[in-house]
Amino acid sequence: MHTRKLAALDRSPALDAASAAGRLKEAASLLGLTAGIARAELPREELERLRAWLARGDQASMSYMEKKPEQRASVGLAFLEGARSVLAVALPYPPERDPKAPAPIAAYARGEDYHRVLARRLDALASFARDVLPGARARRFVDTAPVLERAYAHAAGLGFYGKNSCLIHPRLGSYFFVGGLALDRELPADGPLEDAPSCGTCTLCLEACPTRALPEPFRLDSRRCISYLTIEHRGAYPEDLRPLVGERVFGCDVCQAVCPWNEKFAPGGDDAFSPFPVLQGALTTLFLRAKTSWKGTTRATALPRALKRGFLRNLATAMGSSSRPEELPALEELSRNEEPSVREHALWALARRKGN
């Protein structure tokens, strides 16, 4: 539906870079995207920020982040030789409103996989760009290239950095996905924001993080982050963190849910991300669906990133923070799972529920 809206736009070649930029942003808006333009090379401080994060070991087991960090600050080095500009985009998704009683699955992953949604719209935007900029090369990215997408969105004026390390848009909050279109044409840059707003003296996100994964403003320690532990981490994770994860089985929204910017501005989110009924329900319901039809349950969602064994491990961990008796048979079954990490977390959960 969104892509059809571009049909009425003028696709004739733009007379100059400024008019091309305006028409590209108009096309993005019709696709439900908020857009801004950045240079193809990020400011030096972004690369320095990445290197400092790596030096502290905050990337945890995500060793792929350590490879050729200089490429992550340049779309030209990363995947489009001769790139001159980046059209960065933001697409809101339905927010989590209650940090004290969150659903087991993080807000961003309850509907269709954002990679698919953004890819379709960026493909339409790339087609439009090639019409208004004849001969231009355009390549989209949405977690599909080794670049600092959040930093490009920041450089394009789509927000400021919050103390929780999220990008916060002054009128959207932080519940949005980012992606972009690399172009081999010079377009006038929009950002970063001048006189950008900020978090001020607020530290609600740092105080609310269950695992203290935000040890100081603007720093995220992945080793303690619930989103990392439940999605990216492979195998068992530290026992002292398990009770702090609570009943979350895929991701976490606490640092965003307590943010005043989201309380005031976060929109309802794009319809493409309306929650799938199959991803809702009690932990036992999710367990039965994952056990009997993992591929069918997670098709077209972001959940396969955790792998089936990771999701079952997370369910076992979540049941360890519950007291519902109907979950005990599931925990007993998980304690006999062939995957060591699933067994370990299930046995831990059973022992915890028995008070041992």
Residue from 58, 57, 52 nearest 225 by CA: 58
The rounded mean pLDDT for the chain is: 95
pLDDT at residue 306, rounded to an integer: 98
Place of tokens 């920020």: 49
* ω into 192 cis (within 30 of 0): yes
Catalytic annotation present for 143: yes
pLDDT at residue 299, rounded to an integer: 94
pLDDT at residue 355, rounded to an integer: 82
pLDDT at residue 356, rounded to an integer: 59
**Residue burial 74-104, b: 16+ Cβ < 10 Å; e: rest:** bbbbbbbeebbbbbbbbbbbbbbeebeebbb
Contact yes or no for 50/73 (Cβ under 8 A): yes
pLDDT at residue 301, rounded to an integer: 97
Token pair for 47 = 């690369």
pLDDT at residue 94, rounded to an integer: 95
Contact yes or no for 161/169 (Cβ under 8 A): no
Q: What is the pLDDT of residues 52-63, one digit of tens each?
A: 999 999 999 999
Q: Which residues of the chain have pLDDT under 50?
A: none
pLDDT at residue 51, rounded to an integer: 97
Query: What sign has the CA pseudo-torsion 49, 55, 58, 62?
Result: positive
pLDDT at residue 1, rounded to an integer: 58
- The single residue of 10, 143, 240, 271 carrying the catalytic annotation is 143
**Residue burial 257-266, b: 16+ Cβ < 10 Å; e: rest:** bbbebbeebb
Q: How far is CA 246 from CA 129, 220, 226, 263, 284, in A?
A: 46, 19, 10, 23, 15
